[in-house]
Structures are given as C-alpha cells and as structure tokens.
Amino acid sequence: MDPKITLHDKTFKLFIPNEEIEKAIDALAERLNADYADATDEDPVVLLCTLNGAIIFAAELLKRVKFPLVLKACKLSSYQGTQSTGYIKTEVPLPAHLEGKRVIIVEDIVDTGNTIVAMKDLLQDASVRDSKVCTLLVKPDVYKKHVKLDYVAMEIPNRFIVGFGLDYDELGRNIKDIYVLDE
C-alpha cells in the first residue's frame, strides 16, 4: 500500500486501507444473509451490479452472501472527471425479465443520488416486486434524496476518491485500497 499515488494529473493519498473495506463488507453481507435467508432457487434475489464502479464491491459480496441469487448488470453514469454532470446517461440498459423479482441494486458510491433515483424509477417501471439499495460508500453530507439507502457499508466525507472499483477518468479501479484526492 503506497501512501500516495498519481493518476493522470492528480495525486491521491491513502484514505481507507483494504482491511477496513473488507471488514465493512463482511458486516454488510451478514445483514444481507439474514434479510434474504428466505430466498430459494425458484425465487432467487437479483443482484444488480451498476457498472463499472461496483464490479469489485459486487464480486466481494458474491463471495460472502449465502442465499440463491442471479447476477445482472446495467450502467448508468453521470460523472466526467472528478465532477457529476447532473445528467444521467444509460449506457447499458436494465436486463430483461425483472418483473416480480426482488432486486438489490449494488452501487460503489452514492453522493448526489441522481443515479440511484433514476435506477429506482427504472425498476419501478420494470414492475419489480421489491428493490433495495446496497452501497459500499455514501457521502451523507451530499446525499439528500428521498430514496432510502438500505445497506451502507461505510460513510465518508464529500471528497473525491479512487480505488476499489472507483476511478478517475477510468484509472484507479484496480487499486485494492481507497485513496482520496490530495489537495
């Protein structure tokens, strides 16, 4: 674990070591396992990974959850560089055949919440039975939307971060720790 890294034109310093991230995911997976213990092979839960950032988090959850599930993916995006554009773009649409399913949206980070609101609206339009939000990180100082965040692994301040799936202009996703912009 390097104390500082450089991606493109920005320097980042260590913020959350991988060991802390793993412990938070362990605790979150325990809650999910308790809440979805009634899932069956005939009625599996849909884990809906929001690409690309949540891939690492979803993979870690998959190793820990014990209930029957189906993994699906979609991609909505609003970021360019270090800022949210405020505009939600659908790059990979929701998968088909979600009607009547229980869906857990797996997000890497929730800050403005625009993507989560759009995702919940899309799932409602798809007539899912139930949808819950599961996120690795939330910025409570920024998140002011009405959509409940059902499963949150960690809260962080409103800072720009990379690592553990999160990127800066597509770089840094493969770093196992989380780094914060060194201002």
Question: What is the pLDDT, as a whole number, of residue 79?
Answer: 55
CA atoms within 13 A on the CB side of 109: 27
> 22-154, which class in CATH?
alpha beta
Domain locations in the chain as residue ranges = 22-154
CA distance 92 to 151: 24
Is there a catalytic annotation at residue 141? no
- Mean of the per-residue pLDDT values of the chain: 93
Catalytic residue among 38, 43, 111, 169: 111
Q: Where are the alpha helices (DSSP H) in 15-140?
A: 18-35, 55-64, 114-125
Q: What is the pLDDT of residues 58-103, one digit of tens each?
A: 999 999 999 999 999 998 876 555 565 667 777 877 888 999 999 9
Question: What is the pLDDT, as a whole number, of residue 86?
Answer: 66
Strand partners, 13: 4, 180
> Which of the two residues, 75 and 39, has the higher pLDDT score?
39
Quick check: pTM over 0.95? no
In the chain, the DSSP E strands lie at 4-7, 10-16, 45-50, 69-80, 83-92, 102-110, 130-138, 151-155, 161-162, 178-181
Over 90: is that where the pLDDT of 132 sits?
Answer: yes
Percent of the chain with pLDDT over 70: 95
